[in-house]
Amino acid sequence: MQKFLTALIVLAASPAMSQDASGEVEFNNHCRTCHSVEEGDNRMGPTLHAVIDRKAGSVPGYGYSDAMAGSDVVWDAETLDAFIEAPDAVVPGNAMKPYSEITDPKVRELIVSYLSETEV
């Protein structure tokens, strides 16, 4: 059993997998430490449930930075893509840290499309 579990973990962590990984896998790799997609589930970061068309800094009960709360950005495919590439370029002074910028456009696209599906 131990051996089986170890094999599973090695498989899940293998970089080769992220090549054709689904948006959910990429989300889990890059965002899930701090974000949930469940409604009302604020963790270290605010819930990303139904984030498309949401004004930045507007989830009730989450303690945003002044930068995020005061931002006029509305999250859509374009602003989300830009934000996860370089958060400070979109909302200067935001508190989403530590964060590693996602330079691969394909990975960003997968994550944004995964987030669009949480809207139902």
Name the site residues for ligand HEC (rule: CB under 6 A). 30-31, 33-35, 44-46, 48, 51, 56-57, 59, 64-65, 67-68, 75, 80, 83-84, 94-96, 98-99, 102, 111
Q: Which is nearer to ligand HEC, 9 or 86 (CB)?
A: 86
Q: How far is the CB of 64 from ligand HEC (least distance, A)?
A: 4
CB of 24 to ligand HEC, least distance (A): 12
Kindly list the distances between the CA atom of residue 80 and the CA atoms of 36, 72, 109, in Å, as whole numbers in the listed order.
Answer: 16, 13, 9
Cβ closer to ligand HEC: 85 or 120?
Answer: 85
Cα 24 to Cα 19: distance, rounded to the nearest angstrom: 13
Q: 25 is written with which tokens?
A: 């896998």
| Distance of closest approach, residue 12 Cβ to ligand HEC, in angstroms | 18
Neighbouring C-beta atoms of residue 39, cutoff 10 Å: 10
Instruction: Report in angstroms how near the CB of residue 7 gets to ligand HEC at its nearest.
Output: 27
Residue 43, strand partner residues: none
> What's the CA angle centered on 52, arms 115 and 73, to 5 degrees?
125
